[in-house]
Structure 1
Amino acid sequence: MSDRLPPAELDNSVFSKVFRPEKLTFGLLTPLEGYPLSDTPSMEGHTALAKLADELGFAALWLRDVPFRDPNFGDVAQIFDPMVYASWLAAVTQRIAIGTAGMILPLRDAIAITKQALSVDQISNGRFLLGVSIGDRPSEYPAFGVDFGKRAERFRDAYSLIKVVANESFPVHQSMHFGSLDGSLDLVPKAFASRLPMVAVGRCGQEISWLAENLDGWIWHQSNLEHLPKVIELWRSACGPETFKPYGYGTFFELDSDPNAPLNWGRGVRGGRKALIDLWLRQYDQGVSHVALNMRVSHRPVKDTLQELGEYVLPLFA
């Protein structure tokens, strides 16, 4: 991994702190709360927990984009709009990255997303990561008046527009779904660092080769333990031998209060810290760069989970 380097313009950005060659970092998917028997979290004490995660050394907080409550789906994430919530979290934390996992590009106005993302990036002194996705809830598309069948096409169109308006001055650009720019307008602010990094969350309806060529990294769902090395090999082959583009995954997670509890890997990861440390050391060797933990299924108080991970797990990978 040592000969694979991130793009030079991202060397000093938050991207290089969350995603580093030969490092495994840990993030937390919001809400910072277990709600296994409900589709809606309470959001109680979330500010204090975000501060605790920051103090303990977690790399990132990831905010999901879930516009509606769909009872058939069973999860409304952190309830609050991700960009509004990102601003709040940026104000109450100091070091931890704030990311989206991810903004649903086919359903959102691309220029509005860019304006919001760059604003949070500046407000947070460069701690924002724009994760983008295609969404996983077909029921939301009619509400936005968007053709579900064209979601992959709209994703590519929105991505291209975001990249242009975020990183170029007075750009000229023609998009299929989101309008045109003739060079007379410049979107401000620009990124805190050299450019705004974008990470794919999920497959986004695209070929892996397209994601590797266009995005700065890929966060997917948990993979079968036996299949994970093949997934990472496929990703690395698509990225090429010289450029480091990280692979990470998000997973439901519950830390057993018994440190010797065995690993249970199914619809999420459950186990004691010793088994989890063994798992993550193996995955580090396999090339995983980031693990985003979703405690939605946890029955244990999140504060206890964070403190145990902060004391016994994070230092091993620091």
Structure 2
Amino acid sequence: METFHNKQGYKRIFKENKLTLGLFIPIEAYSGSIPSMEKHIQMAQKAEELGFGALWVRDIPLFDPYFGDVGQIYDPWIYLGYLTAHTKKITLGTGSIVFPLRHPIHLAKAATSIDQLSKGRLVLGIASGDRQVEFPAFNINIPSRGEAFRETYYYFKQLLNEDFPMIDSQVGQIHRNAGVLPKPYHSSDIPLIITGSSRQPFDWIAANGDGWMYYPRSIHQQSLSVQAWREATSTFKPFLQSLYIDLTEDPDTEPSPIHLGFRLGRKHLIHFLKSLEKIGVNHVMLNLKYGQRDAEKVMEELANEVLPHFPSFD
């Protein structure tokens, strides 16, 4: 994609027919909903030093004890700013910012600020949201969130791409000289990776997304998703997925299912990731939440034994 060939965050993790690896923050194993966040910056810096392609943060405004996870706890924009100051080259991604819950001006101001301060390292995963408790709290009608997602998307794109946009939207109007600064770093845009369906038609996602983030599936099921994505897009747009892993000390442990992933040894993990690469998956976001080993040791094993097969593009 020519638009993003100079974007450091994009080009570090995305290349046609290649797969790279990133890590969800917090990089720790924990039970329940709330992580400790101990040594979280040291772990992020170590991930960069070890050669992981990206760090991913989540957007979870409210603690819902019935949902099972609050991600990194901190506000994603403030936390991305903190990560920007403490890292140098690793891609900073969101998985994902819930667009209907925020005004597009706030989104544009925050995203372009992070993109400038990080020198183009931001990859923005976006979604319509899936936590039912959030929408009434924000006074948003749950059935209308698909429309709200589109309206916010169009408004956001205009703010990034035009100096003084004329906007007449259900979420706001700009009818005189006004715009958002800063603009994105090294480009007039920021890569927008759409998550799941985001309550949109598939053709709309293919036309308007700069990539597609999907959920873990079997190799056969995921190959069908990737094939549909490639057929719907005329130029290369990356396909991403998350994967929870509980990496065992025994490298030969056969895979057994856990929530959205597997408990397995590294040999089977490498085989599974190579299968994903073969069908066209371009980036896998590993999540260590359900691990039974120390996350730092797991990260080191991944870096020494797995990452060499799936290097990022410095």
Q: TM-score range by the shorter chain?
A: over 0.9
Counterparts in 2 of 1:74-113, with a 5 A limit? 74-113=68-107
Equivalent-residue separation in structure 2 for 1:136 and 1:257 (angstroms):
35
C-alpha distance after superposition, 1:152-209 (max 9, x if no partner): 0000000001111012111112111x21122401210000021211111222111221
Aligned with 1:230 (options 204, 224, 230):
224
- The aligned amino acid for 2:180 is L
| Counterpart position of 1:158 | 152
Matched, 1:60 2:54: yes
| Counterpart position of 2:22 | 27
Matched, 1:48 2:36: no
- The aligned amino acid for 1:252 is Y
Match of 1:131, SS state, is: strand
Counterparts in 2 of 1:160-239, with a 5 A limit? 160-176=154-170, 178-194=171-187, 195-239=189-233
Normalised by the length of structure 2, the TM-score is 0.95
CA contact (8 A) 1:31 1:41 kept: yes
Query: How much does 1:78 deviate?
Result: 0.6
Equivalent-residue separation in structure 2 for 1:288 and 1:41 (angstroms):
29
Match of 1:293, SS state, is: strand
Query: How much does 1:68 deviate?
Result: 0.8
C-alpha distance after superposition, 1:106-132 (max 9, x if no partner): 111111011001101111111111111
Query: How much does 1:227 deviate?
Result: 0.9
Equivalent-residue separation in structure 2 for 1:187 and 1:56 (angstroms):
36
| Structure 1 unaligned regions, length at least 5 | 1-6
Equivalent-residue separation in structure 1 for 2:279 and 2:245 (angstroms):
20
| Counterpart position of 1:134 | 128
Equivalent-residue separation in structure 2 for 1:118 and 1:270 (angstroms):
38
Equivalent-residue separation in structure 1 for 2:207 and 2:176 (angstroms):
26
CA contact (8 A) 2:243 2:287 kept: yes
- The aligned amino acid for 1:164 is Q
C-alpha distance after superposition, 1:274-308 (max 9, x if no partner): 11111111111110000001111112111111111
| Counterpart position of 2:280 | 287
Match of 1:61, SS state, is: strand
Match of 1:227, SS state, is: helix
| Identity level (%) | 39
In the superposition, relative to structure 1, how do residues 265 and 244 fare at CA in structure 2: closer, same or farther (>3 Å)? Answer: farther
Equivalent-residue separation in structure 1 for 2:99 and 2:3 (angstroms):
24
Equivalent-residue separation in structure 2 for 1:303 and 1:134 (angstroms):
33
Equivalent-residue separation in structure 2 for 1:239 and 1:225 (angstroms):
21
CA contact (8 A) 1:167 1:196 kept: no
Match of 2:22, SS state, is: strand
CA contact (8 A) 1:202 1:221 kept: yes
Matched, 1:253 2:245: yes
Equivalent-residue separation in structure 1 for 2:137 and 2:51 (angstroms):
39
Q: After the TM superposition, which segments of 4 or more aligned residues of structure 1 sit over 3 Å from their partners?
A: none
Query: How much does 1:266 deviate?
Result: 4.8
| Counterpart position of 1:119 | 113
The number of residues matched between the two structures is 308
| Counterpart position of 1:4 | none
Aligned with 1:298 (options 268, 288, 291):
291
Equivalent-residue separation in structure 2 for 1:74 and 1:97 (angstroms):
27
- The aligned amino acid for 1:219 is M
Match of 2:226, SS state, is: helix
| Structure 2 unaligned regions, length at least 5 | none
Match of 2:219, SS state, is: coil
Equivalent-residue separation in structure 1 for 2:257 and 2:227 (angstroms):
22
Query: How much does 1:232 deviate?
Result: 0.6
Equivalent-residue separation in structure 2 for 1:167 and 1:61 (angstroms):
26
Match of 2:285, SS state, is: strand
CA contact (8 A) 2:146 2:200 kept: yes
Query: How much does 1:238 deviate?
Result: 1.1
Output the aligned Cα RMSD: 1.1
C-alpha distance after superposition, 1:48-69 (max 9, x if no partner): 0000000111111111100111
